[in-house]
Each structure stands twice: as C-alpha cells, then as structure tokens.
Amino acid sequence: MISPAAAAIADGRAVLGIELGSTRIKACLIGPDHAVLATGSHSWENEIVAGHWSYSLEAVRGGLAGAYADLVVTAHEAHGVAPASLAAVGVSAMMHGYLAFDADGELLVPFRTWRDTSTGEAAAALTEALNFNVPLRWSVAHLYQAVLDSEEHVSHVAHVTTLAGYVHEMLGGERVLGVGDASGMFPIDPATGTYDAARLAAADALLTARGFGTPLTQVLPGVLSAGEIAGTLSAAGAAVLDPTGTLQGGALLAPPEGDAGTGMVATNAVARRTGNVSVGTSIFAMVVLEQELGNLHEEIDVVTTPTGDLVAMVHCNNGASELGAWAGVFHRFATLLGSEPSADDVFAALLTEALDGEGDGGGVLAYNQLSGEPVLGLRHGRPAVIRTPASTLNLANLSRSMVYGVFAALSVGMRVLHAEGVAVDVLQAHGGLFRTAGVAQRFLAAAMDAPVGVSDSASEGGAWGMAVLAAFAHRVAGLPDDAAPTLAGFLDGEVFAHAAAAVVQPNPEDVAGYAAYLTQYELGLAAERAASEALPRGNA
C-alpha cells in the first residue's frame, strides 16, 4: 500500500520551498501536514567581481537545478516517487542587494549582494533625507550609490529587484516581492502595506537631482502580503528547476520572501512580542514591534513580517562562516591522524568542548569578520584570534570564544533595542549551529540575557519556512477574507500546534562570563580596525 507521504507527492499535493542562502541553495518538500517529505541542497560561494561581492546568474540557475535534483533523489529514496506536479511553490533568498536590469531584461552589472559595504555615502544621505535608517545593503542604497558614482549602467536601469524576486519572475511569476523582502529594498508604510509614499517622494528628489529621473514606483517591484497569489509556475520555470522535464508547471506561486521573513515563519515568530535569531553566514535578530521605535538608530533596521507588521532587525554581516573555517582546519587535522569524522561530527565536538571553557573564554578573543560589519563600525573584515600572554589557550576556551564571537556583534546591536524598551517573551533560534543540542542555544541565551527556544523545525531553516508560506497561500486561495486564517493563526493552529520546543533560560554565570568577554571584545575592535588598514587585501 502506498504511504500517505508518497500519495501526497504522486497526487501533486506537496509544496516546495526554495531558499538561496549564502553558502547553500536548499529545497524542501512538505506534505499537507507541513512535515518534511524530502530535502535537497546545492553548495555555492560568493566571489568578489569588480570590487563587489557577487554570484553569477549562471550559478543561480545551476544551483536551483542542483538543489531540486538532490531533492528528487531523496524523495525517491524515502518514498519511491518524485513529484511530477506541485500544489504550490515559494522562493526565498538572501535579502537586500542589487540586481539591476534594462528594459529588455538584461542584467546591467553583476549582482551586488547584501554583503557589499560600498554604499556608505548613499546610505547616509538617504537616512538623513528619509529620516529612516537605510542600511548599506538595502537596494535603494545600492542604486543611489551607483548614481552618485556616475556608473555608466545607471542610464539604462529599468527595474531593480532582489535575488528572490529575480528567481520568482524566472519561474513564471510576476515582478513582485513579498512585503518582508520589499522592506529590504525601501521603507514600507505599515498602514498601506507598500512602499512609503512620502519617503518615495524624498528619495526621488535625491535621485532626480543627480540625473536619475525614473520614479522609484516604476523601478521597484510590486508588493504583496503573505497569502496572496503571485502567479503560477510556468513550463519554462518548471524546466529551470527540473531540466529532465518530469516536473510540470501550474503550481501556485507564493510571494517571494527574504530569508528574514522565512526565519520568522520557521520559528513561529510573526506575532507581536515574538522574536527570532537566525544564524548562518550572517546572523540577525528579529523582534516584532508593539509600536514604532522612538528614535532612529543606525544599528537597527526596521523591516516587516511577511504580513507587513513592523519588525526591528539587528543584522550582522558575519555569522558562523569563520567558525566553519576553523572546523575545516580541525577536520583536516583529524583526517591526518587517521580519523574520518563528518563535518557535523567536528562541529558537534567543538561545540561540546566549548561547554568546558572558562566563562569569559579564558581571555581568548575570536573575531569572525570576513567582511565589513556596520553594527561594529568596521568597514572591512579581518578575521582574527587575539589573546594576551596571560590568557589560557586551550581547545575549550578557543571553542567557547569562537561561539561567543558569532554572537558578539548581534548583542551589541540588541543593547539598542533594550534601551528603547522593546520587550520579547522568548527568542526562537534557528540554523544549523543549533543542531548540537544545548550548546549554541545556551550561549545565545547568555549573550541576549533572554530565554532562547529551539523547535524541532529549527534546523530545517528558511527553505521549510518558505514552503510553509507557500502552503499558506495555497490554503487561503479563493477564501473570502472573513473565512481565511491570519498567518499567525495558521502557524499557531495548524503548523506548530503539536510542535515541541526546548527553551533555555539564561544562566547567571554564563551571562556574567559573556559580559566580561564582550567588554574585552569591544576593546579589541581597535586591533581589528588596525588590521584592516595594515592588511588591505581585497574589499571585504
């Protein structure tokens, strides 16, 4: 007898979520109960092209096909069947950045990612003119900086989008974004659910004064809220995902979202007084606000949930990549000694060893800045381990320091929210760092001095969250407004109704140890700045 999971796949009732992350493109197939049926992934890496962090569009297409092909393999292995059709599809990707196209749809300059920190002049001018913090990585900052720099391509710009928006349009959808992703392009007015009209006028005035006369309303994608339909998967789009021709078009397409929005969904943190922390190549915290912040803070982005509620976001460019690099060193060392550990085994060993480290890391400081870090005032990144002769260097302290280093910039930014009186009941954490139970979660609770929960779905991350958003769009399609659940209600009542979550309270000794570490870490930032001047290699 065919299993319910196999029947859902064979009958075209499964839902696909795709997320293009910094190091992996992930695909996640879920069933009608929102449980994972199959996953797939494809590794890729950014590169510096003409002075900017970038990925090629060829790598985007190849990575989509690679991740989907891997998903097909796991679906066959687990259920004996692969999808020929789908109920719904959703695409998510790294937020922000700059993909500029001409009127014929040709890319004008290589994709500039969120990691790019070359937009300081533009971001500062926009922040002042809009009275709204415009971070370096936001799309409007990239556009205005290109205008300020008199880049040749600017005169040909017809529209600008994000990576999720580009892939969504390629799969057959409209030129639109989910409101959460759109809020990383330009400020959103929560009253209207779209770009803030007064601030559009102010930005247009700046652009026009510099010779860019096309109104931003014509340049930016349209904005949709979670649950709205954003087109259907075309035959050509299905072929992008599955060049074998097995997958057919016709699936409903959900509004494309940013990784911040899918992180909120994956952790059931879309209601007010909820928050989440996502750890990957970057690290960011999201707290859904009860009211607008009282002041403008350059450390805080104000974005939205996938339904348009205001969110305070502390975004740090550098997350777990440097920890991953050190894990690679130890993996190679173990291999030379004749062991054959998996990458997960090495991470688990390092994280577990960190539990035996001293509370303050023994005086060892680990800086994870592979690229610039605006929250810390670092224009460029120079990863480093620094200690004094009096510090105690051993594996436990080094491991604890490296985990602390992942959270350090984030905790600096979160202090601003605490000063604003922003309250959060529990921070939900997700990302691969939390697969080793009780370690990173415990240290994050110390860094945030707040309870931290990790749910069963935490390691699935944004691809699963995007699949859930696509399932929500399919669920409410055609329903009248008074009969359709809200996204928060859908998550509480249907997706997370029986989910288990472990919540760790901050340990006072860990809190004190981390505070001592952070004090020394902030003092050592002067060495980081000096290193970026003394070692001017690349533009990171």
Lowest-confidence segment of 143-147, 439-443, 501-505 by average pLDDT: 501-505
Residues near 419 by beta carbon (within 8 Å), at least 6 away in sequence: none
Length of the chain, please?
A: 540
- For residues 100 and 89, membership in a common domain is answered with no
Query: Cα–Cα distance between 370 and 80 in angstroms, integer?
Result: 43
Distances (CA, A) of 317 to 115, 121, 178, 480: 6, 19, 22, 41
Domain with residue 527: its CATH number is 3.30.420
- State the total domains in the chain: 3
- For residues 149 and 59, membership in a common domain is answered with no
pLDDT on residue 538: 56
**145-172 mean pLDDT:** 97
Domain with residue 203: its CATH number is 3.30.420.40
**pLDDT tens-place string over residues 354-378:** 999 999 999 999 999 998 898 898 9
Residue type for position 44: W
User: In degrees to the nearest 10, what's the CA dihedral of 49, 52, 54, 57?
Assistant: -70
In a domain, 17, yes or no: yes
pLDDT on residue 430: 81
> Cα-flanking dihedrals φ and ψ of residue 364, to 5°?
-90, 130
The strand ranges marked E within 268-393 are 274-279, 283-288, 301-304, 310-316, 365-367, 384-386
pLDDT on residue 500: 74
**434-444 mean pLDDT:** 90
pLDDT over 90 (residue 426): no
Domain housing 31: 1-93+162-176+228-266+461-483
- For residues 338 and 450, membership in a common domain is answered with yes
**298-310 mean pLDDT:** 92
**232-249 mean pLDDT:** 98
pLDDT over 90 (residue 108): yes
In a domain, 293, yes or no: no
- For residues 375 and 516, membership in a common domain is answered with yes
> Cα-flanking dihedrals φ and ψ of residue 259, to 5°?
-65, -25
Binning pLDDT at 50, 70 and 90, where does residue 458 land?
A: low
pLDDT on residue 290: 87
Which of 420, 430, 400, 422 minimizes the C-alpha distance to 516? 400
- For residues 75 and 150, membership in a common domain is answered with no
- For residues 403 and 514, membership in a common domain is answered with yes
pLDDT over 90 (residue 540): no
**176-192 mean pLDDT:** 96
**338-344 mean pLDDT:** 93
Lowest-confidence segment of 24-28, 62-66, 281-285, 327-331 by average pLDDT: 281-285
Binning pLDDT at 50, 70 and 90, where does residue 436 land?
A: confident
H helix runs in 11-108, sequence order: 57-79
pLDDT over 60 (residue 457): no
- For 539, which DSSP code? -
**296-320 mean pLDDT:** 92
- For residues 466 and 525, membership in a common domain is answered with no
Write down the residue that tokens 């993909």 correspond to: 99
In a domain, 378, yes or no: yes
Binning pLDDT at 50, 70 and 90, where does residue 331 land?
A: very high
Binning pLDDT at 50, 70 and 90, where does residue 195 land?
A: very high
**512-521 mean pLDDT:** 98
pTM: 0.83
pLDDT on residue 539: 52
In a domain, 491, yes or no: no
pLDDT on residue 114: 85
In a domain, 424, yes or no: yes
**346-354 mean pLDDT:** 96
pLDDT on residue 109: 96
Give the residue, 28 or 280, on which the prediction is more confident: 28
In a domain, 316, yes or no: no
Query: Cα–Cα distance between 510 and 397 in angstroms, integer?
Result: 13
Label each residue of 269-281 as H, E or C. Answer: CCCCCEEEEEECC
pLDDT on residue 116: 83
In a domain, 285, yes or no: no
Distance of CA 307 to the CA centre of its chain: 17
The helix or strand, by DSSP H or E, that contains position 188, with its residue range, turns out to be strand 188-189
3-class state of residue 229 by DSSP = coil
β pairing state of 159-161 and 99-101: antiparallel
pLDDT over 90 (residue 456): no
pLDDT over 80 (residue 461): no
- For residues 104 and 142, membership in a common domain is answered with yes
**476-484 mean pLDDT:** 89
Binning pLDDT at 50, 70 and 90, where does residue 298 land?
A: confident
pLDDT over 60 (residue 99): yes
Query: Cα–Cα distance between 195 and 202 in angstroms, integer?
Result: 12
User: In degrees to the nearest 10, what's the CA dihedral of 460, 466, 471, 477?
Assistant: 170
- For residues 391 and 419, membership in a common domain is answered with yes
In a domain, 86, yes or no: yes
Give the residue, 29 or 499, on which the prediction is more confident: 29
Residues near 49 by beta carbon (within 8 Å), at least 6 away in sequence: 110
- For residues 423 and 471, membership in a common domain is answered with no
- For residues 333 and 448, membership in a common domain is answered with yes
Residue 390's CB is within 10 A of a number of other CB atoms, namely 7
- For residues 210 and 246, membership in a common domain is answered with no
